[in-house]
Structure 1
Amino acid sequence: MPRLICALTVGLALAGPAAATQEYILPTLFDVARVAPDDVLNIRADPSARAQIIGTLAPDATGIEVVHEQQGWARINHGEGSGWISARYLDYRVDVWEEGALPAGWQCFGTEPFWSVTPRDGAVVLGGPDMADDARPVRAVLSRGVFRDPTRVVVAEGLTLVSTPQQCSDGMSDRLFGLRAEVVIDGETPRLLTGCCAIGR
C-alpha cells in the first residue's frame, strides 16, 4: 500500500498544478517556472506539443492569467486570441484572491454598449467611449467565503457588479475570459450591463 500511495502522489505531481491539489479555482494568476534562463515557454495554438507556436513567454514571466486547463495544458490570452502553454512550467500564485478585495489587475468590460469598470482609489470607475468616467465609492467587496474562489460582488454607490467564474467572450476578438460580469446601475432608469472580467494579461 505505501508504494501505491507514493506512486499516486508522484503521478499527480507530474500531471500539472491543477491535478495535484484543489488549492485554486480558475481563473487565477501563475508565474512561469522551471524554464532555463536562456529559453522561453512556447504558446501553442492548440493543447499539444506538436501544435503551431504562436508566441512565447519569458522564463521569468509573472502574473499570467489562466482561464482554462485541459490535460496538462493551460489556456491564456495572447494578442487578439488565446493559446496554450504547458502547465508543468507554471506555479500558481497564492496572493490573488484575498477575502474582501479585488486582484490588482481586475477589470471588467462589455460591448453593446461599450463599457468598462476599473478600481481606482477606493472607488470603481464606470466608463466607455460614449460616457464620461463616473467614479463610484465602493461600499463592500463580497465573496462566498470559499478558499480562493474568484466569485466577487462589488457593491458601490448606485452600482452592483457580480463577477462569477464562467468562460466568457468579449464578442470582439478570439480572446477567452474566465469571469462573467453583470452590472446593475441604479437610477431613475436602472440598467443591466453584461460582459467579462480579467485579472491579468
Structure 2
Amino acid sequence: MFRTTLALVLALSSPALATQEYILPTLFDVSGVAANDVLNIRAEPDAKAAIIGTLARDAKAIEVVEEREGWGRVNTAGQSGWVSMRYLSYRTDVWQPDAVPAAFRCLGTEPFWDAKREGGDLVLRTPEDQAGDRRPVQAVLDTGVFRDPSRVVVARDMTLFAHPQICSDGMSDRLFGLSATLVIHGDSPRMLSGCCTIQP
C-alpha cells in the first residue's frame, strides 16, 4: 500500500505532468498598483532605468512578449520597454484550442502586408489592396500543448504560420513575441515573412 501511494505521489509531482502557468507571448492585466499611481515602463529591466511610458493601474490585456528576471517586455508608442511582472496577472482566456485571440494580427515589411482573421475569413491587406483579399478559414491548428501560442491558420489557398520567437518589424523599435510566415498558394506561390501581435 505504501509503495503504491508513494508511486502515485511521485507520478503526480513529476515535471512532465506539471501544468505550465503561461507561455509567452500572452496577455496580462495590471494589478496591485495603488489607486493614485501608474505602472512605469522602463527602458531596461531595472528599477533604476529611465521611464519611457506608463500603464494605468487598471490597464487590461497588456501583451508581454519576453520575460527576464521578473521583468516583462511590452510595447509602447513605437518602442519596447519593461514592466515589473509583480504588478501583472496573466489571463487564462487568451490561447484557446483551435482558435486565435480576437486581436491576433500579423504584419510584415518588404513588401508591406497585414493579415488577420475577421469572422470566418483570413484577410490579407497590402498597400495595393486596402479592401483586402478574403479567404475562408478552413482550420486553426495548435500543437496540443497547454497554452502554447504556436498556430497555423489554414485558409483557402493561403496558410499562416505563427510561432513564439522574438521578432522585429524592421520599421520601429517594437519587438513582437510571434514570428510569422504567410504562404500564398496558387499559380504563382509566394512566401511573406513578418511578426504577429495579440495586443488589442
- SS across alignment from 2:49: coil
Give the distance between the partners of 2:109 and 2:186, measured in 1 at CA: 21
- SS across alignment from 1:113: coil
Superposition map of 1:43-192 within 5 A: 43-131=41-129, 132-192=131-191
Q: TM-score, normalised by structure 1?
A: 0.88
Structure 2: runs of 5+ lacking an equivalent: 1-18
- SS across alignment from 2:107: strand
1:81-127 deviations in whole A, cap 9, x for unaligned?
10000000000000000001110110000011100101111101001
- SS across alignment from 2:21: coil
Q: Look up the equivalent residue of 1:110 and give its one-letter code.
A: G
The answer as to 2:195 corresponding to 1:196 is yes
Moved more, 127-136 or 59-68: 127-136
**What is the CA distance between 1:130 and its match in structure 2?**
1.8
- SS across alignment from 2:86: helix
Give the distance between the partners of 2:103 and 2:61, measured in 1 at CA: 9
Runs of 4+ in structure 1 deviating by more than 4 angstroms, as ranges, are: none
Give the distance between the partners of 2:115 and 2:183, measured in 1 at CA: 12
Give the distance between the partners of 2:157 and 2:150, measured in 1 at CA: 20
Give the total of aligned pairs.
181
**What is the CA distance between 1:54 and its match in structure 2?**
0.8
Q: Look up the equivalent residue of 1:200 and give its one-letter code.
A: Q
Give the distance between the partners of 1:110 and 1:119, measured in 2 at CA: 16
Give the distance between the partners of 2:114 and 2:93, measured in 1 at CA: 24
Q: Look up the equivalent residue of 2:44 and give its one-letter code.
A: D
Q: Look up the equivalent residue of 1:49 and give its one-letter code.
A: A
Give the distance between the partners of 1:38 and 1:128, measured in 2 at CA: 43
The question of whether the paired residues in 1 share the 8 Å contact of 2:20 and 2:146 is answered with no
Q: Look up the equivalent residue of 1:104 and give its one-letter code.
A: A
**What is the CA distance between 1:22 and its match in structure 2?**
2.8
Q: Bigger radius of gyration, 1 or 2?
A: 2
Q: Paired residue for 1:22?
A: 20
1:17-64 deviations in whole A, cap 9, x for unaligned?
xxxx83110000000000011110001011111011111100000000
Structure 1: runs of 5+ lacking an equivalent: 1-20
Give the distance between the partners of 1:192 and 1:125, measured in 2 at CA: 16
Q: Paired residue for 1:41?
A: 39
Aligned pair partner of 1:32 in 19, 30, 33: 30
CA RMSD of superposed structures (Å): 1.0
**What is the CA distance between 1:80 and its match in structure 2?**
1.0
